[in-house]
Amino acid sequence: MQASLLLDACRKYGIDFFTGVPDSLLKGLCNELYDRFGTEGDTHVVAHNEGGAIGLCAGHYLASGKPGLCYMQNSGIGNAVNPLVSLMDTDVYAIPCLLVIGWRGEPGVKDEPQHMKQGKITLGQLDLMDIPYRILSSDTTEAGFLAYFDELASLMDSGKTVAFVVRKGALESSRKPVYGNGYAMTRESAVGRILSSDDAGSVFICTTGKLSREVFELREARGEDHSRDFLTVGSMGHASMIALRIAVEKPNRRVWCLDGDGASLMHLGALPVIGKRAPSNLIHVVINNGAHETVGGMPVCSGSMDIASLASAAGYTCVLTADSESSLDRALAEAEKPHSGPVLIEVRCACGSRSDLGRPTTTPVMNRDALMSFIR
Assess whether pLDDT exceeds 80 at residue 299.
Answer: no
Mean pLDDT of 65-70: 98
What is the overall mean pLDDT for the chain? Answer: 93
Judgement on whether residues 198 and 162 belong to the same structural domain of the protein: no
* Same domain as 142, residue 28: yes
Evaluate whether 370 touches 230 at the Cβ level (below 8 Å).
Answer: no
Given pLDDT bands bounded at 50, 70 and 90, which one contains residue 303?
Answer: low
Total domain count for the chain?
2
Q: Measuring CA to CA, how many Å separate 71 from each of 82, 170, 276, 375?
A: 16, 14, 34, 39
**The amino acid at 70:** C
pLDDT band at 304 (very low <50, low <70, confident <90, very high): low
Compute the average pLDDT of residues 184-211.
91
Same structural domain, 58 and 23: yes
Same domain, 314 and 212: yes
Predicted confidence at residue 302, as pLDDT, reads 57
pLDDT of residue 305 exceeding 90 = no
Among residues 132, 166, 200, the one where a domain terminates is 166
Decide if 82 contacts 88 (C-beta within 8 A). Answer: no
171 lies in some domain: no
Range with the lowest mean pLDDT among 174-188, 189-203, 293-307? 293-307
Q: What is the number of H-type helices and E-type strands within the chain?
A: 14, 12
Q: Say if residue 258 is in the same domain as residue 127.
A: no
Residue 118 lies in a domain: yes
Same-domain status, 71 and 204: no
Q: Residues 84, 214: one domain?
A: no
Averaged pLDDT for residues 63-69: 98
Please indicate, yes or no, if residue 288 is contained in any of the structural domains: yes
Residue 239 pLDDT class (50, 70, 90 cuts): very high
Summarize the confidence of residues 247-258 as an average pLDDT: 96
Task: Please say whether the beta carbons of 239 and 253 come within 8 A.
Answer: no
Helix (H) / strand (E) element for 71: namely strand 68-73
Of 136, 166, 196, the position where a domain reaches its end is 166
Q: Which percentage of the chain shows pLDDT scores above 90?
A: 81
Residue 332 lies in domain: 187-375
Q: Are residues 11 and 135 in the same domain?
A: yes
Residues 238 and 113 both lie in one domain: no
* Average pLDDT for 320-337: 96
Q: Are residues 204 and 262 in the same domain?
A: yes
- Domain assignment of residue 176, yes or no: no
Residue 175 lies in a domain: no
Of the given ranges (76-80, 213-217, 232-236, 369-373), which has the lowest mean pLDDT? 232-236
CA distance 287 to 78: 25
Q: Model confidence over 133-166: pLDDT tens digits? A: 999 999 999 999 999 999 999 999 999 999 999 9
Query: Is 181 inside a domain boundary?
Result: no
Q: Quick check: is 318 in a domain? A: yes
Do the domain assignments include residue 172? no
Residues 143 and 282 in one domain: no
Which sign does the torsion angle of CA 213, 216, 220, 222 carry? positive
Query: Is 23 in the same domain as 97?
Result: yes
Contacts of 37 (CB under 8 A, 6+ apart): 18, 43, 44
pTM: 0.92
CATH at 279: 3.40.50.970
